[in-house]
């Protein structure tokens, strides 16, 4: 009996390596053997495939069936192998022509009636098929993800009978219509405007600097001063992603089992996990590694509200990804990499009672223990830390203008980002020490900055972060050189250092 070989794709993080499904029928007692490191969900395909073939009107061969999933050292999980296994059995038993399998890949889960059902994590499969230029047969229910890629060699199927008729040349399968007009109509727009936040002009300015340079921002303030509102408005200041960036983010969401809505395709992600989140949910992992919140916030914003309530060990897990822009999940079977170039925005109260000023119910020692929930190296990774104070009397009922709209600020942010990308190819928050030497600093101003850093007892990392923030301030003002006033303004965004220094004096 001939061996039928059917190509499909596995799930390995955001990658989709090719898997060859080999089907062989031999004489002997009827049996169905599945080899090639299948997980439990793949082993269950034996019963689904048997019922799907019979209920679709085909003959299930009463032979000794051996299915090999190659390569054998790659773990396979999920129901995506149902369809290629069924196609392989039908081809090996002579019910489908072997030659029709050439230049095709098949992915899909089968129902007992032969229906082809939706699969998660299909977007990396479509991207890999496009790179290879091969025809891909996938479930009709995955059409929305196929539309994101716009790959015209995708064939959409609803039933095993339709695929069999297609391989016999008796009918065609619907594909992707050229031109994804709905993507062009899905440019992001936000109903949240920064002008809705009453007062807090210094915080708004810091938010503009953070958006322009991709800097991490920590906001300190009593409850109800607008920290969460400010953080949620940063998305309205950021420019939309390019098509390739949006596709990269959508692939991560697809692996996590999250659908990408057309209207949200170009919109940068905004993730706000609860403070009870575990390290695995935040960073990623699990027995079958999945991307965590930091990867779901890739090229977008990760907002940690009430950050002092997060466990310290969980927060310290963010330190390395914040520097490298990715996280590596190591398991015995594989080592997976998930991109995580996110912008961290955090908010917290300055004390356990909510206020650290005069009349606070918390003692200096209680405030020290509360702030000690954030480790020094973790705080060091914030480029800006600002105070968000209570509003002055009369601010809530005043009819004065609330300031610029998000659209006006976003225009300056976009112009500053264009300057950064044209100058160094990356945002200022990603500049290395070598690039900082060519960023337009005067030697005398750098000596002033170094003296200030030494007086404040800051680290070398803080010295470089202050340079990056000052460069962003200069870019927003369209200044080719970084002046001392820009450095002085950057030094003003060190509220946490001032708070810690004042506690040491008590």
Work out the mean pLDDT of the chain and round it to a whole number: 90
Which helix (H) or strand (E) segment holds residue 41: the answer is helix 40-43
pLDDT digits (tens, 9 = 90+) for 213-248: 999 999 999 998 889 999 999 999 999 999 999 999
One-character DSSP codes across 433-444: HHHHTTSSB-HH
Residue 435 has pLDDT above 90, yes or no: no
Distance CA 120, CA 79 (A): 9
What would the mean pLDDT of 446-459 be, rounded to a whole number? Answer: 89
Give every CB contact of residue 349 below 8 A, 6+ residues apart in sequence: 220, 221, 222, 223, 306, 308, 355
Span 118-127, average pLDDT: 93
* Per-residue pLDDT at 115 exceeds 90: yes
3-state secondary structure 325-355: CEEEEECCCCEEEEECCCEEEEEECCCCCCC
pLDDT at 487 over 80: yes
- The predicted pLDDT at position 132 comes to 92
More confident residue, 271 or 333: 271
362 DSSP assignment: S
User: What pLDDT was estimated at residue 183?
Assistant: 57
Q: Give residue-wise pLDDT tens across range 365-388.
A: 888 889 889 998 899 999 999 999
Give the DSSP letter of residue 81: T
Predicted local distance difference test score (pLDDT) of residue 437: 85
Taking residues 288-316, report their average pLDDT.
Answer: 94
Q: What b-and-e string marks burial along 178-205, b requiring 16 or more CB atoms within 10 Å of the CB?
A: eebeebeebebebeebbbebbbbeebbb
Task: Quote the pLDDT of residue 400.
Answer: 59
- Give me the mean pLDDT over the 193-200 stretch: 85
Condensed to tens digits (0 to 9), the pLDDT of residues 169-185 reads 999 999 876 554 555 55
Place of tokens 């479930």: 139
- For the cut 70, the answer to whether the pLDDT of residue 190 exceeds it is no
Sign of the alpha-carbon torsion through 186, 126, 179, 167: negative
pLDDT per residue as tens digits for the range 72-102: 989 899 999 999 999 999 999 999 999 999 9
Least confident of 119-128, 437-446, 479-488: 437-446
Least confident of 16-25, 125-134, 305-314, 331-340: 331-340
Mention every residue, 6+ apart, whose C-beta is less than 8 A from residue 149. 123, 126, 127, 130, 247
Q: What percent of the chain is modeled with pLDDT above 70?
A: 94
Quote the pLDDT of residue 261.
77
Give residue 49's pLDDT: 96
Buried/exposed 409-424: b ≥16 CB within 10 Å, e otherwise: bbebbeebbebbeebb
The arithmetic mean of pLDDT across residues 261-271, rounded, is 86
Q: CA 238, 428, 251: angle at the middle one, nearest 5?
A: 50
Q: How far apart are CA 137 and CA 135, in angstroms?
A: 7
Q: What percent of the chain has pLDDT over 90?
A: 67
């Amino acid at each position: 009996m001939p061996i039928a070989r059917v190509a499909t794709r596995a799930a390995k993080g955001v990658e989709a390596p090719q898997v060859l499904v080999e089907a062989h029928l031999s004489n002997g007692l009827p049996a169905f053997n599945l080899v090639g490191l299948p997980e439990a969900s793949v082993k269950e395909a034996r019963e689904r495939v048997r019922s799907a073939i019979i209920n679709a009107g085909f003959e299930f061969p009463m032979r000794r069936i051996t299915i090999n999933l190659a390569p054998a050292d790659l773990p396979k999980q999920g129901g995506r192998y149902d369809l290629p296994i069924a196609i392989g059995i039908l081809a090996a038993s002579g019910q489908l022509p072997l030659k029709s399998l050439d230049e095709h890949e098949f992915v899909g889960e089968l129902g007992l009636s032969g229906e082809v059902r939706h699969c998660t994590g299909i977007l990396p499969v479509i991207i890999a098929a496009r790179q290879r230029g091969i025809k891909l047969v996938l479930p009709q229910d995955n059409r929305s993800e196929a539309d994101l890629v716009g790959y015209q060699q995708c064939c959409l199927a609803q039933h095993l009978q339709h695929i069999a008729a297609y391989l016999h040349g008796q009918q065609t399968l619907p594909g992707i219509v050229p031109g994804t007009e709905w993507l062009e109509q899905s440019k992001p727009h936000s109903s949240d405007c920064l002008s809705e936040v009453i007062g807090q002009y210094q915080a708004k300015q810091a938010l503009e600097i953070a958006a322009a340079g991709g800097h991490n921002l920590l906001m300190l303030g009593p409850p109800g001063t607008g920290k969460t509102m400010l953080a949620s408005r940063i998305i309205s200041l950021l420019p939309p992603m390019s098509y390739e960036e949006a596709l990269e983010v959508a692939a991560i969401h697809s692996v996590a089992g999250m659908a990408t809505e057309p209207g949200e395709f170009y919109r940068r992600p905004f993730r706000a996990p609860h403070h009870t989140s575990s390290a695995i949910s935040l960073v990623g992992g699990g027995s079958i590694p999945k991307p965590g919140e930091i990867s779901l916030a890739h090229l977008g914003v990760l907002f940690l509200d009430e950050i002092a309530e997060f466990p310290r060990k969980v927060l310290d897990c963010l330190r390395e990804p914040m520097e490298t822009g990715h996280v590596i999940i190591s398991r015995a079977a594989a080592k997976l990499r998930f991109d995580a170039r996110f912008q961290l925005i955090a908010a917290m109260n300055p004390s356990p009672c909510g206020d650290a000023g005069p009349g606070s119910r918390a003692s200096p020692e209680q405030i020290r223990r509360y702030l000690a929930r954030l480790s020094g190296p973790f705080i060091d990774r914030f480029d800006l830390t600002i105070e968000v104070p209570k509003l002055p009397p009369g601010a809530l009922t005043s009819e004065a203008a609330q300031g610029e709209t998000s659209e006006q600020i976003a225009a300056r942010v976009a112009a500053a980002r264009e300057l950064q990308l044209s100058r160094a190819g990356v945002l200022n928050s990603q500049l290395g020490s070598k690039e900082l030497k060519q960023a337009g600093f005067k030697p005398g101003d750098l000596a002033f900055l170094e003296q200030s850093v030494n007086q404040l007892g800051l680290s070398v990392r803080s010295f470089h972060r202050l340079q990056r923030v000052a460069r962003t301030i200069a870019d927003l003002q369209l200044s080719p050189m970084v002046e001392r006033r820009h450095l002085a303004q950057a030094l003003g965004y060190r509220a946490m250092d001032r708070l810690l220094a004042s506690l040491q004096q008590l």
